[in-house]
Amino acid sequence: MKNRTIEVCLSPLLSGCHDFSGKCVVIIDVLRASSAIITGLFHGVSAFRPVAEPDDAVFWAQKGYIPAAERGGQVAEGFSLGNSPFSYREGQWAGQKIALTTTNGTRALLLSLAAERILIGGFLNQKAVVRQLVQFNGDVVLFCAGWKGQLSLEDTLCAGGFLALLTEYFQLTGDPAVVALDLHKQRENGLETAVQSSSHFLRLAAKGLADEIAFCLKSDLYDMVPLLVDGELVAGS
């Protein structure tokens, strides 16, 4: 009998159905907060401070942080930096700290602060996250950020991919985990096609971001896991 459990929270609106305390939570916001944070930290950003609102990012800018804000899939008004992974993959912000607010990902993170440990996961660092979860001595929640409260196909697919790699070590718990794993099995050989039927893809593709989406779906480009330490996400391994 596996004595550790893994469950899936499919949307911030469902967070009340989960108890995060003492657990390791993996925030999954494939398009695009997870992917931007993984990419940025790998390419030298010192830390991302997740904040709830654009005004909070401005507040931290006074303390030396680079402010970054995304709303509705675009750089928020009045900001020059958002959550595009392409904005972070050239080492532009190496050595800097960034205060970041996004529509969905930071919301999920701020809802799970009762957790023992909070990691950021995506397709880009899936195997690195799996390695950390296997070593974690406790239960796990995969927390899909979704889109404005609604569950999203790409985050659910990513959670299912994690589950497929973790069933050997954890007891799957709750119906959302069964749904996510089934979805992954149904689509694992056609991930890009699957995501092309998602509503988020259509929103972002309409803004000319199809290349970015393809980037966010790449598997294991980075062997690094963002970890929340003292309110900031830093490169964990």
Strands 140-144 and 5-9: parallel
Q: Cβ of residue 153: shortest distance to its own copies, in angstroms?
A: 4
Q: Which residues pair with 83 in a beta bridge?
A: none
Which residues in 170-229 contact its own copies (CB under 8 A)?
173-176, 178-179, 182-183, 185-187, 194, 197-200
Q: Cβ of residue 11: shortest distance to its own copies, in angstroms?
A: 7
Q: What are phi and psi of 189, to 5 degrees?
A: -95, 10
CA 106 – CA 68 distance, rounded (Å):
12
Which residues in 14-53 contact its own copies (CB under 8 A)?
14, 16-17
Q: What are phi and psi of 52, to 5 degrees?
A: -75, -40
Residue 95 is a binding residue for its own copies (CB under 8 A):
no
Residue 156 is a binding residue for its own copies (CB under 8 A):
yes
For helices 175-187 and 153-166, angle between their N-to-C axes, nearest 10 degrees: 100
Q: Cβ of residue 103: shortest distance to its own copies, in angstroms?
A: 14
| Token pair 């205060």 in the structure block, residue | 99
Residue 161 is a binding residue for its own copies (CB under 8 A):
no
Site for its own copies (CB under 8 A): which residue of 90, 91, 114, 148?
148
Site for its own copies (CB under 8 A): which residue of 149, 207, 214, 223?
149
**181-205 b/e with 16+ CB inside 10 Å = b?**
bebbeebeeebeebbeebebbeebe
Residue span 54-93 as binding mask against its own copies, x where in contact by CB under 8 A, dash where not: ----------------------------------------
User: If you count DSSP H runs as helices and E runs as strands, how many of each does the chain have, helices first?
Assistant: 9, 11
> What is residue 22's three-state secondary structure?
coil
Q: Give the range of 31-39, 48-56, 116-124, 148-156 binding its own copies by CB under 8 A.
A: 148-156
Q: Which residue's CB is nearer to its own copies, number 11 or number 106?
A: 11
Which residues are at the interface with its own copies (CB under 8 A)? 10-11, 13-14, 16-17, 147-153, 156, 173-176, 178-179, 182-183, 185-187, 194, 197-200
